[in-house]
């Protein structure tokens, strides 16, 4: 599932209404503890894939509060934020809302969500770093991590075996040595590694692996740092990958990567953990050879360590206009707590905390994504980050680099200047 950060402009009208009501919410510390109704908004993922977990959370809260009525509404990701913005501008806000973790920031900056007591939630002292960052703004907690989704490398075992490679690489050198053999055997029209140029999630993993960052904070102000020596090192290696192994359209993003992978003209991707399995689905596998022939592995980084991966996922938040904030916090804890995490893991999700994540490393079916997720990064939690994403500054930079339109240094300097113009703007 791809999450896109809502722009600040999209929630401007809603914010005026929130400010007018003058409430800052106490998020689980008492307000609405005696409410008789609770409205929970979740995406269709919960409705379709783990409805029994929703029912269990309802039952747990109702047991403590006899007579409580819990209503649910489900929505798809494409239209979710428009519906949420519209209702938050009224006095009929839901009490719990699901957010993609990169969507949280714009709402936290504008004061849309009530602050929560982190200590009141199970395993909160062990939340995964990337997820914890997504619910934290200016030292306060405004949401609870729900589940996570990581990124892994995936390649075709048959193609690797055709050049004498019979096991997944453990180091970056082993990886590039294998890919060099595959590229030579398959020819210059083949993508030994299909890596869309505009895929900033992958590119920034190289940046963070090299010790760089998109932006850094000092004294409460953020400054872009893509042109730092460390970041440039990561960007140059990303360009090397694209130049050496990616022989397709250098202007593409990652949105249809699993479809392209299923066409059989590439032997590896670095992608969300679900993409390999989706590529081998008969609907997408145009080769008839992918089922059981694709293998996930932990992406090694050029630094010699595991490649840090962007940690996607969902969070749950309580709108500041909710009249049942205390009950909303109880429901969230019932849903995302210890038993809920076990249920989510059984459905193939990564948990929201390091304690449960460690248990997945012992199961061959989940060891790779669980191990990969241990090293992760997240977007700068800066007030103007939404404007950076909306302007597609990173994608523009990467396309300029990948197509050779600009040097890595020039593209990075231009991106830094564009980021600095908006990153501190609320």
Q: Is there a single domain that holds both residue 268 and residue 417?
A: yes
Its domain, for residue 70, covers: 37-149+311-377
The number of folded domains in the chain is 2
| 162 domain residue, yes or no | yes
Residues 98 and 79 in one domain: yes
pTM for this predicted structure: 0.85
Are residues 386 and 355 part of one domain?
no
Contact 46, 53 (CB under 8 A): yes
- Kindly state whether residue 12 falls inside one of the protein's structural domains: no
Please indicate, yes or no, whether residues 333 and 266 belong to a single structural domain of this protein: no
Is residue 28 domain-resident? no
**What are the pLDDT tens digits along the chain (426 aa)?**
334 333 333 333 333 333 333 333 334 546 778 889 999 999 999 999 999 999 999 999 999 999 999 999 999 988 888 999 999 999 889 999 999 998 999 999 999 999 999 999 999 999 999 899 999 999 999 999 999 988 999 999 999 999 999 999 999 999 999 999 999 999 999 999 999 999 999 999 999 999 999 999 999 899 999 999 999 999 999 999 999 999 999 999 999 999 999 999 999 999 998 899 999 999 999 999 999 999 999 999 999 999 999 998 999 999 999 999 999 999 999 999 999 999 999 888 999 999 999 999 988 888 999 999 999 999 999 999 989 999 999 999 999 999 999 999 999 999 999 999 999 998
State whether 367 and 383 are in the same domain: no
Residue 215's nearest CA partner among 196, 197, 230 is 230
pLDDT of residue 6: 34
Is 183 in the same domain as 285?
yes
Q: What is the structure's pLDDT at 407?
A: 98
Same-domain check for residues 167 and 234: yes
Q: Is residue 26 part of a domain?
A: no
| pLDDT attached to residue 16 | 34
Burial class (CB in 10 A: 0-12, 13-18, 19+), 414: middle
Dist CA 73 CA 256 (whole Å): 29
**79 with 130, same domain?**
yes
Same-domain status, 384 and 306: yes
The span from the CA of 109 to the CA of 19, in Å, is 12
- The pLDDT of residue 22 is 33
Calpha distance 376→305 (Å, rounded): 12
- CATH code (residue 185): 3.40.190.10
| 98 and 220 assigned to the same domain | no
DSSP string, 123-140: TGGGB-HHHHHHTEETTE
Q: Same domain for 85 and 201?
A: no
170 shares a domain with 295 = yes
């Amino acid at each position: 599932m791809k999450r896109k950060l809502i722009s600040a402009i999209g929630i401007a009208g809603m914010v005026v209404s929130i400010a007018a009501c003058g409430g800052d919410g106490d998020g689980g510390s008492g307000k609405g503890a005696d409410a008789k109704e609770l409205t929970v908004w979740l995406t269709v993922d919960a409705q379709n894939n783990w409805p029994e977990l929703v029912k269990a959370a309802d039952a747990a809260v109702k047991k403590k509060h006899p007579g409580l009525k819990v209503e649910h509404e489900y929505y798809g990701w494409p239209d979710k934020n428009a519906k949420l913005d519209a209702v938050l501008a009224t006095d009929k806000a839901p009490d719990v809302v699901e957010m993609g973790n990169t969507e949280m920031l714009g709402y936290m900056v504008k004061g849309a969500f009530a602050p929560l007591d982190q200590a009141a939630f199970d395993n909160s002292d062990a939340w995964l770093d990337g997820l914890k960052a997504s619910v934290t703004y200016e030292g306060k907690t405004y949401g609870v991590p729900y589940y996570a989704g990581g990124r892994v490398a995936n390649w075709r075992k048959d193609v690797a075996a055709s050049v004498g490679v019979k096991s997944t690489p453990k180091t970056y050198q082993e990886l590039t040595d294998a890919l060099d053999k595959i590229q030579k055997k398959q020819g210059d029209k083949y993508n030994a590694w299909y890596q869309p140029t505009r895929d900033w999630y992958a590119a920034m993993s190289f940046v963070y692996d090299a010790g760089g960052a998109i932006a850094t904070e000092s004294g409460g102000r953020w400054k872009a740092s893509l042109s730092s020596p460390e970041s440039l090192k990561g960007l140059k290696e990303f360009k090397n990958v694209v130049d050496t192994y990616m022989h397709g359209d250098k202007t593409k993003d990652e949105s249809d990567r699993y479809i392209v992978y299923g066409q059989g003209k590439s032997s590896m991707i670095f992608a969300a953990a679900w993409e390999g399995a989706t590529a081998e689905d008969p609907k997408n596998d145009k080769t008839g050879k992918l089922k059981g022939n694709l293998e996930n592995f932990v992406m090694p980084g050029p630094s010699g360590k595991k490649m840090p991966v962007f940690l996607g996922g969902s969070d749950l938040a309580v709108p500041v206009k909710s009249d049942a904030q205390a009950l909303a916090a109880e429901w969230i804890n019932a849903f995302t707590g210890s038993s809920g995490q076990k249920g989510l893991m059984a459905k193939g999700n990564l948990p929201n905390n390091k304690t449960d994540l460690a248990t997945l490393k012992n199961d061959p079916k989940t060891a790779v994504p669980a191990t990969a997720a241990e090293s992760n990064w997240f977007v700068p939690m800066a007030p103007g980050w939404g404007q950076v994403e909306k302007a597609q500054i990173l994608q523009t930079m990467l396309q300029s680099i990948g197509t050779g339109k600009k040097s890595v240094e020039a593209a990075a300097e231009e991106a830094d200047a564009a980021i600095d113009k908006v990153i501190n703007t609320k």
